[in-house]
Amino acid sequence: MNPALLDRYIAAVLRYRWLVVAAATLVMLAMAAGGRFITVSNDHRILFGEDNPQLAAYDALEDTYTSSNTALIAVSPRQGNVFTRETLGVIERMTEEAWQAPYSSRVDSLTNYSHSEALGDDLIVGPLVEDAASLSDADLDRIEEIANDSIELVGRMLAEDGRVAGLAINFIPPRETHDASVVELNAYLDEMMARARAESPEIDFHITGDIVMQRAFAQATQDDLERLTPIVFFLIVAVAYLILRSISGALSMVVMILFSVGTAMGLAGWNQTVFSPVNAGVPIIVMAITVAQSVHITTMTLTAMRRGLDRMEAVAESVRVNAFPVFLASLTTVIGFLSLNASDSPPFHTLGNYVAFGVACTFVYSMSLLPALLSILPLRVKPSYAGEVTFFDRFGEFVVARRKPLLWLTTIPTLLLLAGIFRIELNDSLPNYFDERYEFRRDSDYIIENLTGLESQEYSLASPGEGGITNPEYLRQIDAFAEWCRSQPEVTYVRVFSDTMKRLNKNMHEDDPAYYRLPEDQALATQYLLLYELSLPFGMDLNDRIDISKSSTRMSVVMRDITSNEQQLLAERARGWLAENAPGLTTEATGLSVIVSHITERNIKSMLRGTVIAMALISLVLVVVFKSLRFGLLSLIPNFIPAGMSFGLWGYLVGRVGIAASVVTVVAFGIIVDDTIHFLTKYLKIRREGRSAADAVRYAFSTVGKALGTTTAVLSAGFLVFAASGFEVSWALGILVAMTIMFAFLADFLLLPPLLMAFDRRKL
C-alpha cells in the first residue's frame, strides 16, 4: 500500500475511533448471531469423502444385504457362567426390550438364537431359550451344551469360557434424520441399561457398537468445544498478560479474540455448519492465531510508548510498521489452512475454511478495531531508559558470536530427530480415537477382552449365478475360506453361511452329528434352505446374509487387537488365498474397519498435493515480498524442517499416528512461516541500509525477538491444550502442531541467523 495512503487511513481510524469500535461491534454481533445454528454431528461417516472407494464398496455391500448400525451389549454375571435361570432370564427380557428400541431391525442374542433340531419328520426351529425362569436344571445343561457346541455362537454371542453373553441389536436409522434418530435410540439404550443394572446388581453390563460410538463422537465434539475453549481462552490471555505486562494490552487481546472467534463461528452458524470432533478445534485455533497476530501491533505500541512517544503516535507508528508483515503473515496462514480442502476427509475442509476465515477477520480487526481500542484503553507504561539491554538483545549478541558452532549444534540434533520419522506407524481405529475417559472406550475394551472383537472385515462372496449359493462346490469353497480365516491368529470369529447349511444337513438326518457337513446335492440343499427360511420368525431371516437372488452370501471376519497395517496385511493374505484356492470368489474385504484402516493413507495422499501447492504458493509470496529468490528459498529451511522434527520426535516417543498426521505439516507451515516473515523483514531492512548481516541479525532480535517469543508461547500453549482432548485426532494434531511451532521458533532463532550470516555475504 502507498505509505501516504496508509498514514491517512491510520489517522482516520484514530480520529473516528469510537465509530470504528461501534461499527466493528455491529458487524461482529450480526455475524455472531448465527452461532445458534451450529450443530454437532454424531455420524462417524462424515470422516469419509464421498468418492472414498472403500466407502463405496461398503455401501454397495450394505445395499445388497441390509445396511445397519449395531449396538452390542455384554452381559456378565459376577459369579459363574451365564447358564443360569436368572442370567438367561435377564438376556431374554433384554432381547424383548431391544426389539422395542426405535429403528431396531433385528436382535440377536444367546436366548433368541434360532436353534433347529429334528423331531421325527419335523424340523423344529425355535429360540434356544424360551421362558428361562421355568427351565429345569436338565434344560440348562442341554442349552449350555448346544451353545458351547455352536460355532455360530461362540466368540460372538457367547464367550469361550461361558462367562459373558452377547446381545446384538441392528438399527436402521432413517438417513434423513440420522443424527436425531441416533440420539433417540441411544436414550432408549441408556434407559434399558440403567433398568437392567438396577434390577440385576449381580450382573455387569457393558455396551459398545457403532451406534454407541456415534454418541461418544458427539460427546467428544461437545466436550472439546465447551470445555477446552475456555481453558485456551484464559491460558492465552494469561500468557499474553505475563509477556505484555499490561492489563489494557491483555484486555485488547480479549476483545480481539471475542470478535474474531465470534465472527468466524457466527459465519459457520449462518452456513449451518455441522461440527465433529475433528474440527471442534476451530475456535481454539482462531483464538491462538488472533493473539499471535495482535501481539505484534500491541507490543510495538507499548515499546514505542516506553521510548516516550505519545499514545496516538505510538499506535500510528506500530500500525504503520506492522501493517505489511501482519498482512503477509495472515495471507500465508490463510493459504495454509485453505489447502486443507485437498483432504479426502470433509471435516478437515470445515476446519481449514473457518480458521482461514477467522484469520482474515483477525487481520481486518487488527487494522481497525485494535488501533481504535489501543487509543481508547488506558495504556500506561514505565518509560524505559535509553540504552537498556533486553534479553533478546543479549540473545542476538550470543547468536552472532557463536554462529559457527550453532550451525553444527543445530544440524546434528535435527538430523537425529528427522531419523525418527521412520519409526512412525500409521494406525487408525475408531474405538481407539476415544480415550478412557469415555465410557464407550472402557466398555469396548472390556468387550474386546472378554467377548469378541469389534473390528470386522466383510466379504460378499459371489457364486456362479442366481441360486448358486447352495452349489456344493461354492459351499465347499466358502467353508474352506472361513476355515482359513479362523486359523489366522488375528481372527476371533467368522460368520459364514456354510455353517448354517451344515447344521441343517445334520437336522435333516435325525440330528446325527456325522452329518454335520455340507450337503452334496444342490437341489436338496436349496430345499433345506427353503424349509428353514419358512420356519424362521420375524426379524430372524437370512436376508442380511444372503442377497435376494441367492447368488452371493456375506461373510464376516471379526478381529481383535489389530492395527491398520495388520488389517491390510490380513486382507491381502486373504485375497492371496482366494486367488490361489477359489479364484471365482476373489473379492476385496470391506467394512467400516477396512475404510478406517485406509483413511490416513488416503488422506496423506490427498493432502500431499494440497501441501505442495500451499508451500509453493507461500514460497512464491516470500520470494516476491523479499524481492529475492535467494532469501525466499533460504527462508524455507526453517519452515520445512520443524514438521519433520516433530514427526521424528513423535516417532521416538509415541510411534503410532492416525489421520491427524495428514494435515499437521500444512497447518503448522502457514503458522510458523509468520515468524520467518517478521524476522526477515527486519533483517532485510537493515541489510538494505547497507549494514552487515551480523548487524541485521542483532536488529531483528531486538525488534521482533520479544514479539516472536510471545506468539510462540501463545500459539504453542493454544495447541497444547488439545492434549487435554479425549479424541485422538484432536490431541495428536494439537501436540504435533505445538511441537512444530516450538521447533520452528528454535530454528528461526538458532538456525536461520547463522545460515544468513554464512550465505548472505554479498552487498545488497
Q: Which element (helix H / strand E) includes 657?
A: strand 656-657
Is the Cβ–Cβ distance between 352 and 611 less than 8 Å?
no
We find the least distance from the C-beta atom of residue 51 to another protein, in angstroms, to be: 19
Site for another protein in 450-509 (CB under 8 A): 466-467, 470, 508
Coil, strand, or helix at residue 301?
Answer: helix
E strand intervals along 90-182: 104-109, 114-119, 122-127, 165-171
Is the Cβ–Cβ distance between 763 and 690 less than 8 Å?
yes
We find the least distance from the C-beta atom of residue 95 to another protein, in angstroms, to be: 12
| Alpha helix (H) residue ranges in 100-152 | 137-149
| Residue 657 C-beta-side C-alpha neighbours within 13 Å | 30
Binding mask 47-66 for another protein (x = CB under 8 A): -------------x-xxx-x
Question: Of the listed pieces 141-149, 328-336, 386-394, 534-542, which binds another protein according to CB under 8 A?
Answer: 534-542
Is the Cβ–Cβ distance between 344 and 602 less than 8 Å?
yes
Residue choice 190, 521, 561, 689 for contact with another protein (CB under 8 A):
521
| Residue 550 binds another protein, judged by CB under 8 A | yes
We find the least distance from the C-beta atom of residue 431 to another protein, in angstroms, to be: 26
Nearer to another protein, 121 or 137 (CB): 121
Residue choice 25, 411, 543, 581 for contact with another protein (CB under 8 A):
543
Binding mask 135-174 for another protein (x = CB under 8 A): -------------------------------------x--
Residue with grid cell 432408549, as numbered in its chain: 188
Residue choice 541, 588, 601, 695 for contact with another protein (CB under 8 A):
541
Nearer to another protein, 310 or 520 (CB): 520
Among residues 220, 163, 210, the alpha carbon closest in space to that of 189 is found at 210
| Residue 101 binds another protein, judged by CB under 8 A | yes
Nearer to another protein, 132 or 732 (CB): 132
Binding mask 198-237 for another protein (x = CB under 8 A): ----------------------------------------
Q: What are phi and psi of 330, to 5 degrees?
A: -65, -45
Question: Of the listed pieces 77-85, 399-407, 519-527, 617-625, which binds another protein according to CB under 8 A?
Answer: 519-527
We find the least distance from the C-beta atom of residue 187 to another protein, in angstroms, to be: 14
Residue choice 138, 412, 514, 548 for contact with another protein (CB under 8 A):
548
Nearer to another protein, 29 or 60 (CB): 60
CA 512 to centroid of chain Cα atoms: 53
Going by the DSSP 8-state scheme, the letter that residue 455 receives in this structure is E
Neighbouring-strand partners of residue 205: 75
Nearer to another protein, 408 or 538 (CB): 538
Nearer to another protein, 204 or 533 (CB): 533
Question: Of the listed pieces 103-111, 145-153, 293-301, 418-426, which binds another protein according to CB under 8 A?
Answer: 103-111
Binding mask 720-749 for another protein (x = CB under 8 A): ------------------------------
d(CA 395, CA 282): 35
For another protein, how many residues bind (rule: CB under 8 A)?
51
Question: Of the listed pieces 49-57, 102-110, 240-248, 259-267, which binds another protein according to CB under 8 A?
Answer: 102-110
| DSSP states of 18-76 | HHHHHHHHHHHHHHHGGGGG-EE---GGGGS-TT-HHHHHHHHHHHHS---EEEEEEEE
d(CA 250, CA 262): 18
We find the least distance from the C-beta atom of residue 175 to another protein, in angstroms, to be: 9
| Residue 527 binds another protein, judged by CB under 8 A | yes
- Would you state the cell numbers that stand for residue 73, as one nine-digit string? 451389549
Nearer to another protein, 101 or 257 (CB): 101
We find the least distance from the C-beta atom of residue 479 to another protein, in angstroms, to be: 19
Residue choice 124, 612, 653, 723 for contact with another protein (CB under 8 A):
124
Numbers of helices and strands, H then E, in the chain: 27, 13
Is the Cβ–Cβ distance between 670 and 614 less than 8 Å?
yes
- Would you state the cell numbers that stand for residue 306, as one nine-digit string? 516506553
- Would you state the cell numbers that stand for residue 595, as one nine-digit string? 475404510
Nearer to another protein, 95 or 635 (CB): 95
Residue choice 524, 623, 654, 764 for contact with another protein (CB under 8 A):
524
We find the least distance from the C-beta atom of residue 748 to another protein, in angstroms, to be: 56
235 burial class (0-12, 13-18, 19+ CB within 10 angstroms)?
middle
Nearer to another protein, 55 or 274 (CB): 55
We find the least distance from the C-beta atom of residue 157 to another protein, in angstroms, to be: 20
Among residues 325, 327, 305, the alpha carbon closest in space to that of 315 is found at 305
208 burial class (0-12, 13-18, 19+ CB within 10 angstroms)?
buried
Going by the DSSP 8-state scheme, the letter that residue 81 receives in this structure is -
| Residue 534 binds another protein, judged by CB under 8 A | yes
d(CA 403, CA 396): 10
Is the Cβ–Cβ distance between 643 and 740 less than 8 Å?
yes
We find the least distance from the C-beta atom of residue 463 to another protein, in angstroms, to be: 12
d(CA 353, CA 335): 10
Residue choice 104, 111, 263, 477 for contact with another protein (CB under 8 A):
104
Nearer to another protein, 504 or 664 (CB): 504
Nearer to another protein, 475 or 570 (CB): 475
- CA end-to-end span of the chain: 23
Binding site for another protein (CB under 8 A): 60, 62-64, 66-67, 99-105, 119, 121-126, 172, 466-467, 470, 508, 521-528, 530-531, 533-543, 546-550
